[in-house]
Structure 1
Amino acid sequence: FRDYLMKLLAAQKQYDWDHQPIALSATSLRKGDSADAIKAIKERLYVYGDYAANDTTPYYDTAFEAAVKRFQKRYGLTPDGVIGKTMLSELNDSIGKRIKQIRINMERVRWMPKIEDSVYILVNIPEYRLHIFEHKKLVKDIRVIVGTTANSTVIFSGRLKYIVFSPYWNVPSSIVQKELLPAMQRDPNYLARNSMEVYGGTASLPMIRQKPGGSNSLGLVKFLFPNNYNIYLHDTPNRGLFNATNRSFSHGCIRVGEPAWLAQYLLRNNTAWDSTSIHNAMHQTQEKWVTLQATIPVFIGYFTAWVDQDGKLNFRKDIYGHDKKMEAKLFYR
């Protein structure tokens, strides 16, 4: 972080981009195009380290396309090499904003609990990714879906202890009140059509759960790290949502893109489990709880800037507005 911060502080003194926004004369730019805007974009990608050549020609060639894709990947954009409105918006953000973003996230790193376990899981909310580390080395990246702005995923840490195959979904009372009761009034067969049942509560506020199966909102497996927020990792039947670039769709829990792989990884040292037994357990009519032989720390974090395993500086959108709140405390006291 510190090296990148020093580079951007130096660039801020040299370049006055705040008053020179780049505009496109076309809807987008791609390889083979020529435009005056390409000269300015090349300069910025050179300063940011994505473009090796200090080239200010207006031509979009193969080397420039590779630089564009590197930039897009670092910012969580689709790395298709096409320069459009979204990429241009990131390029037009001031160097000063990026400097503040780095400083804010350096502060967040200071707040992280000390990691003493050899294996741990980190979910980075703005990145929409779950990372598994062993001995500080990245083992696997998995796409996740996090809470919406209105139902934001909580930042905290816990220890993953249980895997529940073919789970029931015990619908939170808030969802019962806001969504299910109105739906039941409109359609008396709503519960049956959605494989749901009442298992307690009162007539005015029933306790409702969804039965195990392919249509269950938790999918075929969930991963529990007991906490006060009722947040956990789980599968989902809506697989297509993982293809979205921005994946804040849930009520607060974290949907996992590769749940079967995660289950097999967590049970890798348990000889009673393999890919076949896991698949079978995920397709039962009754839920099955498995206690891990050793708990694994899970950190739910919120980093909009970080240096990855390849030494590249990444940035993401402040999807919950946490950066703005920290900025007010750090820079405007």
Structure 2
Amino acid sequence: DGALVEAVKTFQDYHGLAVDGVIGNNTLAEINVPIRQKLIQMELNMERRRWMPDFLGDTYVFVNLADQNLKLVKNGKTWHTTRVVVGKPYHATPVFSDEMTYVEINPYWNVPYSIATKEYLPKLRQNPNALSAQNIRVFSGEQEVAPTQIAWNSYSGSNFPFKLRQDPGGRNALGRIKFMFPNQFNIYIHDTPSKTLFDRAQRDFSHGCIRVSDPFALGDVLLSDQGYDRSRLEAIRDAGARKVVKLKEPVQVHLTYLTAWMNKDGSTHFRRDIYDRDEVLLKALARAMTENL
């Protein structure tokens, strides 16, 4: 009946499932998780939270990789929440904190070396013009090189000397805006042309960076007090030229991995351990406890 359907929807929401009120395989699997396992999961995430600073910043961006959601908090109040796509298990997004310092509209995409050699080089061996339709250009140092003039079969992952760069535009892999917090992992938050992935309950599809739904709404919340509201950001986007906007004050960014947590309203939430980190942490804590006896 209606009450049962609503109860199932609430359960699905608390477990990061598709909220449809239907007890399918994924919902049934979560219903059948023993309470002892959920208690252990809560203990593990209390440990993870203990590792984080007590004060996250006056203004900060908080991304829970297991939840695949982002929130922006100002003075203890959540101003913006949105869905994100995170790294697939093979390209798991790391956990760390850093400072966002600038936003780039109509960015170039400098193709990472691993993607250039593992994914694009085989295509270029087959067809030197394979990337032209994606507006990806080839550079040797600072000099652009025609892809048809390169003997691609002479190169591999060990001696690839070129840089691949995608021009700004609607097909750019970073979309039309990116949010930069320079870090050793080369991870950042950005737009994407692949909008349909945000409709999925499980969203681990990227190479490690964080793709954000409706990024110009996020830009509005971050930059409107600097005179860059959504309409101005979109006008810059539509003009097509690359533009860098520095933040007046750096914003803390926290990439976290919490598979269980409690909200302020008392609701307890659980998420799939997409990177299989719970078991690793459980073994590490058990080993530490044994060593301290």
Common topology (TM > 0.5): yes
The residue matched to 2:131 in structure 1 has which SS?
A: helix
**Deviation digits for residues 62-86 of structure 1, max 9, x if unmatched?**
2222211111110011221111111
Please say if residues 99 and 251 of structure 2, whose CA atoms lie closer than 8 Å, have aligned partners that are also in contact.
yes
The residue matched to 1:294 in structure 2 has which SS?
A: strand
Q: Which whole-Å CA distance do the structure 2 matches of 1:280 and 1:109 have between them?
A: 40
**Equivalent residue number for residue 285 of structure 2:** 330
- Find the partner of 1:225 among 164, 169, 181: 181
**Equivalent residue number for residue 112 of structure 1:** 52
Whichever residue aligns with residue 250 of structure 1, its letter is: S
**Equivalent residue number for residue 246 of structure 1:** 202
Structure 1 position 153 matched with structure 2 position 84? no
Structure 1 position 215 matched with structure 2 position 171? yes
Q: Closer, same or farther in 2 for the Cα pair 1:116/1:303, shift >3 Å?
A: closer
Count of residue pairs brought into register by the alignment: 272
Please say if residues 260 and 270 of structure 2, whose CA atoms lie closer than 8 Å, have aligned partners that are also in contact.
yes
CA shift for structure 1 position 284 = 4.1
CA shift for structure 1 position 135 = 2.0
Whichever residue aligns with residue 223 of structure 2, its letter is: L
Name the stretch that deviates more: 195-204 or 213-222. 195-204
**Equivalent residue number for residue 8 of structure 1:** none
Q: Closer, same or farther in 2 for the Cα pair 1:139/1:310, shift >3 Å?
A: farther
The residue matched to 1:127 in structure 2 has which SS?
A: coil
Q: Which whole-Å CA distance do the structure 2 matches of 1:274 and 1:305 have between them?
A: 35
- Find the partner of 1:311 among 266, 271, 279: 266
**Equivalent residue number for residue 76 of structure 1:** 16
Please say if residues 138 and 309 of structure 1, whose CA atoms lie closer than 8 Å, have aligned partners that are also in contact.
no
The residue matched to 1:90 in structure 2 has which SS?
A: helix
Higher normalized contact order (CA 8 Å, seq sep 6+, divided by chain length): 2
Whichever residue aligns with residue 278 of structure 2, its letter is: D
Name the stretch that deviates more: 283-292 or 252-261. 283-292
Q: Which whole-Å CA distance do the structure 2 matches of 1:116 and 1:307 have between them?
A: 17
**Equivalent residue number for residue 92 of structure 1:** 32
Residue correspondence of structure 1 range 195-214 to structure 2 within 5 A: 195-201=135-141, 204=155, 205=160, 206-214=162-170
Please say if residues 84 and 213 of structure 2, whose CA atoms lie closer than 8 Å, have aligned partners that are also in contact.
yes
CA shift for structure 1 position 128 = 0.6
The residue matched to 2:221 in structure 1 has which SS?
A: helix
Residue correspondence of structure 1 range 1-333 to structure 2 within 5 A: 61-115=1-55, 117-201=57-141, 204=155, 205=160, 206-271=162-227, 273-331=228-286, 333=290
Please say if residues 196 and 211 of structure 1, whose CA atoms lie closer than 8 Å, have aligned partners that are also in contact.
yes
CA RMSD, aligned part only? 1.5
CA shift for structure 1 position 116 = 5.2
Q: Which whole-Å CA distance do the structure 2 matches of 1:319 and 1:112 have between them?
A: 20
Moved over 6 A (4+): none
Larger radius of gyration: 1
Please say if residues 146 and 153 of structure 1, whose CA atoms lie closer than 8 Å, have aligned partners that are also in contact.
yes
Please say if residues 61 and 253 of structure 2, whose CA atoms lie closer than 8 Å, have aligned partners that are also in contact.
yes
CA shift for structure 1 position 191 = 2.3
Whichever residue aligns with residue 96 of structure 2, its letter is: F
Q: Which whole-Å CA distance do the structure 1 matches of 2:87 and 2:221 have between them?
A: 25
Please say if residues 56 and 252 of structure 2, whose CA atoms lie closer than 8 Å, have aligned partners that are also in contact.
no
Identity %: 40
Q: Closer, same or farther in 2 for the Cα pair 1:118/1:86, shift >3 Å?
A: same
The residue matched to 1:162 in structure 2 has which SS?
A: strand
TM-score (norm 1): 0.79
TM-score (norm 2): 0.89
Q: Which whole-Å CA distance do the structure 2 matches of 1:178 and 1:309 have between them?
A: 45
The residue matched to 2:90 in structure 1 has which SS?
A: coil
**Equivalent residue number for residue 15 of structure 1:** none
Unaligned runs of 5+ in 1: 1-60
The residue matched to 2:82 in structure 1 has which SS?
A: strand
